[in-house]
């Protein structure tokens, strides 16, 4: 049997629901695609073929009885390996959690299962979601399906690759400073960072608790909207979850933009942006205007301070959150060369030294320094004050416009290894995305063109808190207007 390409979420769900396709066949196609492509691409850290097949057969049995199995019945979905899954490994791409199997499901996983989704596996990521290229994974490097010599972006690179390469219909990632939107841009798919508090963080392994948010990837805006409807909503297990109504996002998408005011921040088109990226994004702004939107110049004056602010707050929170990985409670535990036990202090030191990778150690040390006595006020407290100013910038801009449109990334995908030795250059890859997390707003990246080397470029559409309907509508209208929206990366036929 030949795989149907591309595999859309709603299209697949509807075909299964009406009996045109069997959930087991769809599942098997996804598993064959993984078997064929993932040796090269490195999108998955764990594939649950047995569990996925069992769940797919259960969906087919429910449908055969004439019952309704859920809004995602039979849809194969992959999940970033920082989201805990009962009975399946959750490593966060780190050796320090090698072999860890959680005893419970994250809330988003429970909601996927309740909706009938088939969990196909756990996707590769930068260690503890710390990175912009997926090269920090302790297990394997993920590669961009448009050009396997290039990065797919990070930290949710595996989730973006799995969707782009048609190994699943959709996936979940996490976004702390751009980790959904940036790989979505580099891999040529749609990725949404919801408002902070819109989606439960219960069961999301914490990197920076005031910034982290779970969100969806898919090949179409409508599919992202459908998946968001399932995972969004209040969760009493998450103290930061907001109790607000959840619209049916995919039912409320627009195809025209008459009357929509689109802001373009002058601070985002600066020296350092790739010329082809700027040309594609400005072309997309012209298309938004053709669809009825009005384009307005806006200012986000504290943008130049966003990256420094982010890397103080994020590393400070990371140093606190990662203190729990000590070799005692769970995961990897260092031992003496002869297999004997170490003294407690030696146990802590050896476990963290051997278990954490270089980037995680770097961020723990930076964060610990920023929180240390004598430096807290000068660094962490000042960063929190700048964060408030960045949020005020967005609040002021959104009084003048409905959405803000920017590049998602200053460049298209770069060569593997090109920035590994220069952390600052790697951090600059997130220059257009971190502000959204600092402000707690929502943002989506949608493909808006290609470079001369056939590498995807993303358009970022930002909205105020809980304006997901608004930004998804703008993204959908734009997506539907582009003839190349169905373009897919090179792929072998999946037999």
Which of these is catalytic: 80, 122, 193, 419? 80
Please give the pLDDT value at position 495: 35
Please give the pLDDT value at position 486: 63
Please give the pLDDT value at position 134: 97
Please give the pLDDT value at position 343: 87
Please give the pLDDT value at position 202: 98
Which of these is catalytic: 94, 159, 179, 445? 179
Q: What is the largest CA-CA distance in the chain?
A: 72
Q: How many CB atoms lie within 10 A of CB 340?
A: 7
190-193: strand order across its sheet:
44-47, 118-123, 76-80, 170-174, 214-218, 190-193, 442-450, 456-463, 403-407, 261-265, 294-298
Please give the pLDDT value at position 494: 39
State the Cα–Cα distance between residues 80 and 108, nearest whole angstrom. Answer: 12
State the Cα–Cα distance between residues 454 and 215, nearest whole angstrom. Answer: 27
Please give the pLDDT value at position 2: 43
Please give the pLDDT value at position 484: 62
Please give the pLDDT value at position 490: 76
Sequence-distant contacts of 241-247: CB under 8 A, at least 24 apart: 241/197, 241/200, 241/201, 241/202, 242/195, 242/197, 242/198, 242/466, 244/198, 244/466, 247/468, 247/469
Domains and CATH numbers, the chain: 9-266+399-486 (3.90.1300.10)
> Can 473 be counted among the known catalytic residues?
no
Which of these is catalytic: 94, 132, 137, 155? 155
Mean pLDDT, consecutive 10-residue segments, the chain of 495 residues? 66 96 97 97 98 98 94 98 98 96 97 98 98 97 98 98 97 98 98 98 98 98 98 98 96 92 95 94 97 98 97 97 90 84 87 95 96 90 97 98 98 97 91 98 97 97 98 97 74 48
Which tokens is 189 given? 């798919």
* Digit-coded pLDDT (tens) for 456-469: 999 999 999 999 99
Residue corresponding to tokens 């240390």: 372
Those residues whose C-beta lies under 8 Å from the C-beta of residue 476, and which sit 6 or more positions away, are 221, 222, 225, 253, 254, 255
> Can 382 be counted among the known catalytic residues?
no
State the Cα–Cα distance between residues 37 and 152, nearest whole angstrom. Answer: 15
Please give the pLDDT value at position 492: 54
State the Cα–Cα distance between residues 408 and 386, nearest whole angstrom. Answer: 22
Please give the pLDDT value at position 328: 86
Q: Are strands 190-193 and 403-407 parallel, antiparallel or unpaired?
A: unpaired
Please give the pLDDT value at position 491: 64
Please give the pLDDT value at position 373: 85
> Can 239 be counted among the known catalytic residues?
no
Please give the pLDDT value at position 337: 82
């Amino acid at each position: 049997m030949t795989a149907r390409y591309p595999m859309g979420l709603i299209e697949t769900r509807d075909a299964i629901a009406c009996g045109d396709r069997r959930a087991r066949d769809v599942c098997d196609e996804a598993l064959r695609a993984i078997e064929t492509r993932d040796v090269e691409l490195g999108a998955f850290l764990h594939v649950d073929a047995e569990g996925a097949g069992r769940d797919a057969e259960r969906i087919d049995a429910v449908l055969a009885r004439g019952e309704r199995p859920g809004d995602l019945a039979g849809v194969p979905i992959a999940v970033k390996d920082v989201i805990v899954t009962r009975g399946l490994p959750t490593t966060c791409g780190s050796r320090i959690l090698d072999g860890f199997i959680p005893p419970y499901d994250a809330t988003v996983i429970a909601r996927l299962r309740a909706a009938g989704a088939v969990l196909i596996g756990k996707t590769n990521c930068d260690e503890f979601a710390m990175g912009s290229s997926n090269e920090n994974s302790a297990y394997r490097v993920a590669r961009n399906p448009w050009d396997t010599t290039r990065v797919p972006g990070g930290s949710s690179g595996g989730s973006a690759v799995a969707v782009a390469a048609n190994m699943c219909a959709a996936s979940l990632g996490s976004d702390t400073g751009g980790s959904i939107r940036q790989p979505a841009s580099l891999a040529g798919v749609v990725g949404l960072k919801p408002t902070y508090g819109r989606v439960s963080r219960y069961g999301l392994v914490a990197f920076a608790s005031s910034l982290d948010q779970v969100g969806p990837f898919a090949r179409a805006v409508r599919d992202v909207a459908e998946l968001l409807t399932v995972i969004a909503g209040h969760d009493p297990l998450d103290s930061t979850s907001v109790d607000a109504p959840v619209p049916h996002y995919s039912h409320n998408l627009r195809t025209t933009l008459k009357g929509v005011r689109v802001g373009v921040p002058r601070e985002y088109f600066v020296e350092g942006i790739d010329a082809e990226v700027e040309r594609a994004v400005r072309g997309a702004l012209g298309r938004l205007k053709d669809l009825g939107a009005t384009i307005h110049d806006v200012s986000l004056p504290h943008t130049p301070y966003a990256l420094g602010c982010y890397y103080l707050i994020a590393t400070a929170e990371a140093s606190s959150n990662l203190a729990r990985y000590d070799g005692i409670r769970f995961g990897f535990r260092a031992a003496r060369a002869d297999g004997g036990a170490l003294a407690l202090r030696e146990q802590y030191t050896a476990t963290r030294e051997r278990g954490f990778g270089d980037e995680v150690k770097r961020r723990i040390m930076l964060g610990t320094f920023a929180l240390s006595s004598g430096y807290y006020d000068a660094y962490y407290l000042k960063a929190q004050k700048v964060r408030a100013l960045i949020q005020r910038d967005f609040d002021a801009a959104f009084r003048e416009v409905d959405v803000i449109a920017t590049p998602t990334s200053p460049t298209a995908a770069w060569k593997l290894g090109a920035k590994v030795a220069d952390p600052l250059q790697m951090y600059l890859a997130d220059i257009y995305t971190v502000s959204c997390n600092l402000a707690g707003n929502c943002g989506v990246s949608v493909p808006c063109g290609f470079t001369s080397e056939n590498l995807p470029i993303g358009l970022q559409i930002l909205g105020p808190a809980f304006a997901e309907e608004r930004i998804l509508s703008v993204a959908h209208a734009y997506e539907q207007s582009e003839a190349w929206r169905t373009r897919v990366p090179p792929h072998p036929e999946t037999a």
